[in-house]
């Protein structure tokens, strides 16, 4: 069954396609070599010398998230659930990105910390810092390995190249450009990847829409395949959440996905925030996620629509959906569509785009890992007070180490894919309470250091508990005491993490001593002079460079999109 599906997916690539892929690899490595010349300090290596323009960091901001896991996963959701998948973008990403830009970025950038865990350390001290830095670093290694494994698997399925060969080759490519050029190379390649993936997906979507007779034709075909209303309107999205009640489903999407999960991810995940931190000024750092929100709100048309088209136009996907085949892997929907619709030439662009997004995903994980490892773990706890050169070297060695571990993780994932899925879910739970701790810590000066780590640990424990009690969130480890499954279970787990974190933080703060106020400048709103949060020349910015105006435009647009696809 699985083997049959895989041999059906072998693409008919010819030398033109391979040439296009080869050109891409050459450019990627070239960027690494060129970026090397601009790396002379550790800040250059880890944060691009804080010198990149906002449109570059803005595109990198979403490209780091637009890995192939996201592309294939979201088109799979599109094939399976249809339009409600847009909530992952319009509710589950854009609002949090705008919030990050307007409210939180001034803290991150203005306090001159070099990583999100470092902010945690300055605000709450060692306990919270260790919880955050360690869980983040380990999670990045894990995800890098998963990205690497999936990349090798795709290459194996699509092109027939040996799994181990593609694994090692991909790892070496990523390793060489990051060790050479650091974050600049990673960011430049992410921006490039963004354009290549759009160049692949936009024609695919247009040709696909043309084939099914436009959006009207697509709607007709989905309706005649059954389940039309649920698949074609975004609310209440009961098929996506797995929550039967319409009211609870909407609440789950708005609070679980839109508030807790997405704010936890977008505002505290260093993989994302690091891109904005590489900007050249506070207002540029603020603009990065806001500029990123514009392409982000249109990504659904390039990933969900191909999934929906595949569900009616590709016989394998349509059959599986009609017969509700539980063994069918919807993640392959996009690949089937590529196989059916793209001629040689465009096919090469699509392969290059997919490979690029896997590599960019892994590179984002590795470049965030080496920063946290070098600054937050090595410099803070192991070997202190050495020269900057020393930490730059540590960063390069950490990159090599991370890549080797990622290869090991990928080999492990090959044999124990389920375990990897559960581990990934588990690490997701470390993210859930982070936002609560950060936002409370930024605006409540009384919050104590003990409350910092106590809130994080108990919030995470709360989420894990819900997952264990649910029906399937952690696979065989879930015991099914409460009737929650699928996305609904993870929404509730995240919500519980948030509430527990807030409650525990408040209670613990009441019985522990607060931090000395003079140490909290730049870290807590009420204790920071307002000019710390603004550039000196902010008054001279044009309207399109002002974060609040841009964010307002983005907000209005995303509300409009929500209404159009109601």
Among 8, 10, 12, 386, which residue interacts with another protein (rule: CB under 8 A)? 12
Among 349, 413, 466, 508, which residue interacts with another protein (rule: CB under 8 A)? 349
Nearest to 538 by CA among 281, 292, 291: 281
Q: Point out which span in 145-153, 169-177, 279-287, 413-421 binds another protein (CB under 8 A).
A: 279-287
Q: Supply 470's token pair.
A: 């649910």
Among 5, 103, 159, 203, which residue interacts with another protein (rule: CB under 8 A)? 203
Nearest to 375 by CA among 95, 190, 111, 114: 114
Residues 232, 220: Cα–Cα separation, whole Å:
10
Q: Where are the alpha helices (DSSP H) in 91-125?
A: 94-99, 105-110, 116-124
- Give the rounded distance of the alpha carbon of 275 from its chain centre: 12
Query: Residue 279 carries which DSSP code?
Result: B
Among residue numbers 21 through 40, which ones bind another protein (CB under 8 A)? 23-24, 27, 31, 34-35, 37-40
Work out whether 139 is an interface residue with another protein (CB under 8 A).
Answer: no
Phi first, then psi, for residue 26 (nearest 5°) are -60, -45
Among residue numbers 516 through 545, which ones bind another protein (CB under 8 A)? 545
Q: Point out which span in 45-53, 116-124, 212-220, 424-432 binds another protein (CB under 8 A).
A: 45-53
Query: Residue 226 carries which DSSP code?
Result: S
Among 5, 9, 16, 250, which residue interacts with another protein (rule: CB under 8 A)? 16
Among residue numbers 326 through 345, which ones bind another protein (CB under 8 A)? 340-345
**In the complex, least distance from residue 372 CB atom to another protein, rounded to whole angstroms:** 22
Work out whether 215 is an interface residue with another protein (CB under 8 A).
Answer: no
Residue 70: how many CB atoms within 10 A of its CB? 16
Strand, helix or coil at 113? coil
**In the complex, least distance from residue 262 CB atom to another protein, rounded to whole angstroms:** 26
| Helix or strand run (H / E) with residue 143 | helix 126-159
DSSP string, 395-445: HHHHHHHHHHHHHHHHHHHHH-HHHHHHHHHHHHHHHTTHHHHHHHHHH-T
User: Of 137 and 342, which has the nearer Cβ to another protein?
Assistant: 342
Number of residues that bind another protein (CB under 8 A): 53
Q: Point out which span in 9-17, 230-238, 383-391, 480-488 binds another protein (CB under 8 A).
A: 9-17
User: Of 62 and 420, which has the nearer Cβ to another protein?
Assistant: 62
User: Of 545 and 562, which has the nearer Cβ to another protein?
Assistant: 545
User: Of 55 and 255, which has the nearer Cβ to another protein?
Assistant: 55
Among 29, 32, 42, 56, which residue interacts with another protein (rule: CB under 8 A)? 56
**Where are the extended beta strands (E) located within 175-248?**
none
Residues 480, 472: Cα–Cα separation, whole Å:
7
Residues 370, 392: Cα–Cα separation, whole Å:
10
Strand, helix or coil at 261? helix
**In the complex, least distance from residue 494 CB atom to another protein, rounded to whole angstroms:** 35
Instruction: Work out the angle between the directed axes of helices 333-341 and 282-313 (0-180°, nearest 10).
Output: 70
Q: Point out which span in 2-10, 203-211, 362-370, 386-394 binds another protein (CB under 8 A).
A: 203-211
Work out whether 297 is an interface residue with another protein (CB under 8 A).
Answer: no
**In the complex, least distance from residue 38 CB atom to another protein, rounded to whole angstroms:** 6
- Give the rounded distance of the alpha carbon of 43 from its chain centre: 23
Residues 40, 45: Cα–Cα separation, whole Å:
8
Work out whether 280 is an interface residue with another protein (CB under 8 A).
Answer: yes
Residue 483: how many CB atoms within 10 A of its CB? 11
**In the complex, least distance from residue 192 CB atom to another protein, rounded to whole angstroms:** 6
Q: Point out which span in 54-62, 314-322, 401-409, 427-435 binds another protein (CB under 8 A).
A: 54-62
Query: Residue 259 carries which DSSP code?
Result: I
Strand, helix or coil at 52? strand
Query: Residue 125 carries which DSSP code?
Result: -
Work out whether 171 is an interface residue with another protein (CB under 8 A).
Answer: no
Work out whether 318 is an interface residue with another protein (CB under 8 A).
Answer: no
Nearest to 495 by CA among 435, 422, 424, 421: 435
Point out which residues pair with 279 in neighbouring strands.
52
Among 112, 160, 165, 195, which residue interacts with another protein (rule: CB under 8 A)? 195
Work out whether 214 is an interface residue with another protein (CB under 8 A).
Answer: no
Contact indicator for 232, 78 with CB cutoff of 8 Å: no
Measured CA angle at 92 (ends 362, 231), to 5 deg: 105
Work out whether 152 is an interface residue with another protein (CB under 8 A).
Answer: no
Among 177, 188, 266, 358, which residue interacts with another protein (rule: CB under 8 A)? 188
Among 29, 42, 46, 48, which residue interacts with another protein (rule: CB under 8 A)? 48
User: Of 211 and 393, which has the nearer Cβ to another protein?
Assistant: 211
Among 143, 196, 273, 410, which residue interacts with another protein (rule: CB under 8 A)? 196
Phi first, then psi, for residue 279 (nearest 5°) are -75, 170
Work out whether 284 is an interface residue with another protein (CB under 8 A).
Answer: yes
Strand, helix or coil at 236? coil
Burial environment of residue 384 by CB neighbours within 10 A (0 to 12, 13 to 18, 19 or more): exposed
User: Of 206 and 419, which has the nearer Cβ to another protein?
Assistant: 206
**In the complex, least distance from residue 545 CB atom to another protein, rounded to whole angstroms:** 8
Binding mask 224-263 for another protein (x = CB under 8 A): ----------------------------------------
**In the complex, least distance from residue 30 CB atom to another protein, rounded to whole angstroms:** 8
User: Of 183 and 243, which has the nearer Cβ to another protein?
Assistant: 183
**In the complex, least distance from residue 284 CB atom to another protein, rounded to whole angstroms:** 5
Q: Supply 432's token pair.
A: 């859930």
Nearest to 10 by CA among 476, 335, 348: 335
Residues making contact with another protein (CB under 8 A): 12, 14, 16, 19-20, 23-24, 27, 31, 34-35, 37-41, 44, 48-56, 184, 188, 191-192, 195-196, 199, 202-203, 206-207, 210-211, 279-281, 284, 340-347, 349, 545
């Amino acid at each position: 069954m699985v083997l049959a599906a895989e041999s059906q997916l072998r693409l008919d690539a010819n030398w033109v396609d391979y040439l296009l892929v080869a050109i891409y690899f050459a450019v990627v490595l070239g960027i690494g070599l060129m970026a090397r010349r601009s790396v002379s300090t550790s800040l250059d290596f880890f944060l691009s010398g804080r010198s990149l323009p906002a449109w570059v960091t803005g595109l990198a901001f979403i490209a780091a998230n637009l890995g192939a896991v996201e592309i294939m996963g979201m088109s799979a959701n599109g094939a399976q659930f249809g339009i409600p998948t847009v909530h992952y973008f319009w509710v589950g990403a854009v609002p949090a990105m705008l919030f990050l830009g307007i409210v939180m970025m001034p803290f991150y950038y203005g306090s001159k910390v070099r990583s999100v865990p470092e902010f945690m350390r300055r605000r709450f001290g060692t306990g919270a810092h260790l919880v955050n830095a360690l869980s983040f670093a380990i999670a990045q290694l894990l995800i890098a390995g998963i990205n690497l494994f999936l990349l090798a698997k795709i290459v194996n399925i699509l092109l027939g190249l040996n799994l181990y060969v593609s694994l090692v080759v991909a790892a070496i490519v990523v390793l060489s450009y990051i060790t050479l050029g650091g974050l600049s190379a990673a960011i430049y390649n992410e921006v490039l990847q963004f354009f290549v993936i759009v160049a692949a997906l936009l024609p695919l979507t247009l040709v696909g829409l043309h084939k099914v007779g436009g959006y009207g034709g697509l709607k007709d075909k989905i309706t005649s395949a059954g389940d039309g209303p649920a698949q074609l309107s975004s609310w209440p999205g009961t098929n996506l959440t797995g929550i039967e009640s319409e009211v609870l489903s909407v609440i789950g999407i708005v609070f679980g996905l839109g508030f807790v999960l997405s704010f936890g991810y977008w505002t505290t995940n260093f993989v994302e925030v690091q891109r904005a931190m590489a900007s050249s000024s506070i207002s540029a750092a603020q603009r990065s996620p806001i500029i990123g929100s514009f392409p982000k709100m249109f990504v659904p048309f390039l990933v969900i629509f191909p999934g929906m088209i595949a569900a009616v136009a590709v016989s394998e996907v349509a059959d599986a959906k009609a017969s509700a085949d539980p063994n069918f892997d919807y993640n392959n929907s996009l690949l089937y569509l590529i196989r059916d619709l793209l001629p040689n030439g465009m096919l090469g662009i699509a392969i290059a785009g997919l490979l690029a997004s896997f590599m960019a995903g892994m590179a984002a994980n590795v470049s965030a890992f080496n920063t946290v490892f070098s600054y937050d773990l090595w410099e803070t706890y192991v070997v202190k007070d050495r020269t900057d050169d020393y930490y730059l070297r540590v960063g390069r060695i950490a990159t090599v180490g991370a890549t080797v571990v990622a290869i090991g993780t990928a080999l492990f994932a090959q044999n124990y894919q389920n375990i990897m899925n559960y581990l990934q879910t588990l690490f997701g739970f470390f993210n859930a309470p982070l936002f609560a701790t950060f936002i409370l810590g930024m605006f409540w000066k009384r919050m104590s250091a003990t409350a910092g780590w106590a809130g994080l640990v108990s919030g995470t424990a709360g989420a894990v508990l819900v997952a264990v009690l649910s029906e399937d969130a952690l696979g065989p480890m879930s015991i099914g005491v409460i009737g929650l499954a699928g996305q609904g279970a993870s929404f509730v787990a995240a919500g519980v993490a948030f509430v527990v974190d807030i409650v525990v933080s408040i209670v613990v703060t009441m019985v522990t001593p607060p931090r000395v106020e003079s140490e909290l400048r730049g870290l807590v709103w009420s204790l920071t002079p307002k000019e710390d949060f603004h550039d000196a020349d902010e008054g001279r910015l044009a309207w399109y460079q002002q974060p609040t105006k841009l964010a307002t435009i983005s907000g209005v647009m995303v509300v409009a999109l929500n209404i159009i696809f109601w």
